Chains A and B, each alone.
Chain A
Amino acid sequence: MFDEPFATGRSFIHRIDPRHRIVIAVVYSFVVALTDRFAPLTGALIVSLALAALARLRPAAVWRRLKVVFGFLALIWIVLPLTTGTPFLARIGPMGISTAGVLLAARISLKTTAILIEFTALVATMPLATLGHALGQIKMPEKLVYLVLMTYRYIHLLENEYQRTVRAIRLRGFLPGTNMHTYKTYAYLIGMLFVRSVARAERIEWAMRCRGFRGRFYHLVDFVPTPATWIFSAMMGIIIFWIAILEWGPHLW
């Protein structure tokens, strides 16, 4: 379920301190999301692609991830040009293709692609365990961090349990259809998964208490930023600043 195709590697990006990467990724995403002009947006897309190249991401694997989002973007390209209103770029029979709608769809597409590629390059290039530890060290709320880590740990087990049950149902000749029997079977399946998760959660809590757990978690890993990390962070700071200038600079002078 969680294959982490980018998590391991020896690229320049992989060796940057995870905490720096997370902070940069978040700031960069916000700036890009708030940008509206095409010059900074195109710039951001190029920067994201450069980051992906620096992280030596396999283009095919990145494309597989992008495809999911491109499905949503296709929907936007269909809806926005037809619903945004005059002036029209062109007319197809009774319908008009709105200029503002096309521009908006283009902006959204550029932002989405740039942010997604950048997140893949900076954040998906660390194992989830590292992400959790790094989040803990940049003082994110402990409970949220452990929610992430525990989800990662146990969703896999839940999926196994789900697959096992589905297999057992199929082996007994179940064929889903549009009928009460199918709905009832699915309801049992989901209900059983909930019940098992609760039982599992209780046993995990017991096991933790048996090892002296008293509501406090500890992080073992110490990240030490290398000189390369500082150089990279400084560079990214300049780039983010440059994107911001391209967007908001003209308003300032």
Chain B
Amino acid sequence: MTKPIIQLENISFAFPGRQPILNGLDLTLNWGDRAGLIAPNGSGKTTLFHLVMGLIKPTSGIIRIFGKRILAEKDFRVVRRRIGLLFQDSDDQLFSPTVLDDVAFGPLNLGKNKEEAIAIAEETLTSLNLTDIRNRITFKLSGGEKRLVALATVLAMKPDALLLDEPVTGLDRDTRHRIESILRELDISYIMISHNMDFLSQLTTRIFSLENGKITVDDTAALHPHFHLHSHGTHPHEHK
């Protein structure tokens, strides 16, 4: 039996004075789903995530999370404990002086005491292989380290589901592989925005798109791997 985590019904949203960016959108994420969202820039992908987290309010429509209709800020507080959002720009997410401070911030907000919060933070950093940077200053981290720490701050809240906003954009191959293997090993449901087809095909079971403010699923165009042959040049190159 599939139980829904996120249900969006007939959601519309417009930024003030602009054409609606989401227009009667329906979307469901069930337990165990690993969904990919691929759509052009400016089509409302990030807006969709922010709506789910209650950061912005839809002009109309119904949001149900874990089967419960979510209306007020206090309902969203519960949602934010159970759904983690990884921001597109990790600099938005990491505001504490040190890595450990930042990872412990979420657990502390959930009412854990200092020792428990540190223990959770340490445990999360260990599971992501980040213990050696635990005392580093957040703004001095490299782009890849920032993204991994941002992921750690979200995972430290032990969410049931993740919303990943371009988790590997702008990262080098090694960091991308690290994030890939972290996500693969997690027992968690997620929706992931990405423009990287290869990454999506590795990590998602469903892929949908956003068109004219609505979710579209194209069943005929499924992502699939294929083999090809070419001479091995001396320049580094990548296969998508």
Contacts and interface: CB of A to CB of B under 8 A. Distances in A.
A, B co-complexed: yes
Interface of A: 127-129, 132-133, 149-150, 152-154, 156-157, 200, 203-204, 206-214, 216, 218, 220, 222
Interface of A is mostly: helix
B95 A156 contact: no
Interface string B55-96: 100000000000000000000010011001101010111011
Interface in B22-56: 50, 53, 55
Interface in B79-116: 80-81, 84-85, 87, 89, 91-93, 95-98, 100-101, 104-106, 108-110, 114
Contact of B109 (A132, A156, A206, A212): A212
A214 B109 contact: yes
B87 A157 contact: no
A132 B97 contact: yes
Nearest to A146: B95
B92 A207 contact: yes
A220 B118 contact: yes
A203 B85 contact: no
B75 to A, nearest CB: 13
A132 B95 CA distance: 13
B12 interface: no
B73 to A, nearest CB: 9
Given A154-B95, A206-B50, A206-B53, 4 more contacts: A149-B96, A203-B89, A206-B92, A211-B105
B39 to A, nearest CB: 21
A207 B80 contact: no
B110 A212 contact: yes
Contacts of B139: 153, 156-157
B109 to A, nearest CB: 3
Given A129-B98, A200-B92, A218-B117, A209 B137 contact: no
Given A153-B95, A203-B87, A210-B53, A220 B137 contact: no
B95 to A, nearest CB: 6
Interface residues of B, number: 34
Interface of B: 50, 53, 55, 77, 80-81, 84-85, 87, 89, 91-93, 95-98, 100-101, 104-106, 108-110, 114, 117-118, 137-139, 153-154, 157
B84 A220 contact: no
Contacts of B81: 212
A150 to B, nearest CB: 6
Nearest to B121: A220
A211 B97 contact: no
B116 to A, nearest CB: 11
A157 B97 CA distance: 14
B92 A211 contact: no
B221 to A, nearest CB: 33
B138 A153 contact: yes
A209 B92 contact: no
A149 B154 CA distance: 21
B92 A204 contact: yes
